[in-house]
């Protein structure tokens, strides 16, 4: 039974840690399906984490913090859109610039605003997203197996966790069952055909970039106001790049993206839970466990999971033919 309880606790941590990855992964999915590669997910999550924590700390309202995080992320998304869609700049360079911009701005503004070494004050009360307890969760917690699954694994997460997992079927439905989704995917494959049909390629790509900004904003806000209680320097810790690896691993498909993010979340949860694992007398240091998600990222990007073919028009600016 102790093993089962430990398993539930690890899976519970997996869900929490996979949530920001899943939101960022879905954000990249919308953008890249429309042909706009975005390696600036990290920067958008970081600036959203800062502004959500800062506004929540000042106002005491986590919802205002969430809106501030989304707005900050949308500003960087607009910058990326203008650079790569309007001015047809290199999308990868634009994404790198956004990451550097967010990394510097967050610390600079945090130090100027709060004078706490680049962090925000700790959040408490209404400044954080509280866990939601399902009905009868406490009453059924003692029932063997099903009780812990319901009361600990399914219940007790913040609302953003449930929203992120509901976004998976929503994204699938939008991309594969709506006219907007069909056009979005077509823009990433053959923008000239979409343009010929009288649909604005620029408009669709900006819509995809905006959706990406909203989802990155929610991911950043979750990091600072739900998973942790405030902003600290570089708190995204490479999650934007891990989300990109998960997106490639999933071959740009929503359901596969969810499982890929859960895999990365599981590795992080195991690293947090098990410090210095002993395998038959050989002790694996905690640093190796902490590095596992990043090692898997390198393995995936090196192409060991099979060939992942991105959208054909991805990374290419569209020039309308005269």
Identify the H or E element spanning 284: strand 282-284
Cα atoms in the 13 Å half-sphere on the side-chain side of 132? 10
pLDDT at 295: 83
Query: What residues contact residue 104 under an 8 Å CB cut-off, 6+ apart?
Result: none
How far is Cα 173 from Cα 142, in angstroms, rounded to an integer?
38
Which residues of the chain are under the pLDDT cut of 50?
none
Q: Per the structure block, which two tokens stand in for 206? A: 């900006």
Residue 239 near residue 24 (C-beta atoms within 8 A): yes
Task: Output b/e per residue, 161-192; b: 16+ Cβ within 10 A.
Answer: beebbebbeebbebbeeeeebebbbbbbeebe
b or e along 3-21 (b: 16 or more beta carbons within 10 Å of the residue's beta carbon)?
eeeeebeebbbbbbbbbbb
Among 322, 246, 287, 321, residue whose Cα is nearest residue 27: 246
d(CA 227, CA 128): 9
> Can you give the pLDDT at residue 304?
60
Residue 173: per-residue pLDDT? 97
Q: Is 95 exposed, middle or buried (0-12, 13-18, 19+ CB in 10 A)?
A: buried
Q: 260 and 63 in contact (C-beta within 8 Å)?
A: no
Instruction: Give the model's pLDDT for residue 1.
Output: 56
By residue count, the chain amounts to 322
Tokens of 169: 């079927």
Residues 137 and 125: their CA atoms lie apart, in Å, by: 22
> Could you tell me if 13 and 34 are in contact, meaning their C-beta atoms sit under 8 angstroms apart?
no
pLDDT of residue 305: 63
Q: What confidence score (pLDDT) does residue 209 get?
A: 96
Token duo for residue 110: 């945090």
Tokens of residue 12, six digits: 């519970």
Q: What is the pLDDT of residue 162?
A: 95
Closest CA to 95 of 45, 168, 23: 45
Distance CA(263)–CA(293), nearest Å, equals 9
> Minimal CA–CA distance to 25: which of 196, 282, 212, 188?
212
Give the count of alpha carbons within 13 A of 265, CB side only.
24
pLDDT at res. 322:
54
């Amino acid at each position: 039974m102790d093993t089962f309880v430990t398993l539930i606790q690890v899976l519970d941590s997996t869900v929490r840690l996979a949530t920001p990855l899943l939101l960022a992964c879905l954000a990249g999915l919308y953008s890249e399906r429309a042909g706009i590669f975005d390696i600036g997910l990290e920067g958008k999550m970081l600036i959203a984490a800062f502004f959500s924590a800062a506004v929540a700390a000042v106002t005491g309202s986590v919802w205002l913090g969430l809106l501030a995080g989304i707005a900050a992320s949308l500003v960087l998304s607009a910058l990326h859109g203008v650079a790569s869609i309007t001015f047809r700049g290199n999308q990868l360079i634009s994404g790198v610039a956004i990451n550097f911009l967010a990394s510097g701005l967050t610390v600079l503004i945090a130090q100027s605003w709060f004078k706490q070494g680049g962090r925000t004050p700790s959040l408490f009360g209404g400044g954080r997203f509280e866990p939601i307890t399902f009905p009868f969760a406490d009453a059924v917690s003692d029932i063997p197996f099903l009780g812990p699954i319901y009361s600990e694994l399914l219940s007790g997460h913040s609302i953003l966790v449930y929203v992120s997992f509901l976004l998976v079927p929503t994204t699938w439905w939008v991309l594969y069952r709506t006219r907007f989704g069909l056009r979005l995917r077509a823009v990433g494959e053959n923008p000239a055909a979409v343009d010929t049909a009288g649909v604005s390629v620029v408009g669709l790509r900006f819509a995809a970039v905006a959706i990406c900004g909203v989802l990155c904003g929610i991911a950043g806000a979750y990091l600072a106001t739900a998973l942790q209680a405030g902003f600290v320097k570089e708190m995204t810790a490479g999650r934007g790049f891990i989300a990109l690896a998960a997106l490639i691993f999933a071959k740009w498909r929503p359901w596969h993206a969810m499982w890929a993010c859960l895999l990365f979340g599981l590795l992080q949860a195991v690293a947090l839970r098990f410090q210095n694992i002993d395998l038959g007398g050989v002790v694996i240091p905690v640093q190796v466990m902490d590095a596992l998600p990043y090692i898997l990222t390198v393995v995936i990007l090196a192409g060991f999971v099979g060939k992942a073919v991105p959208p054909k028009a991805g990374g290419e600016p569209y020039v309308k033919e005269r």
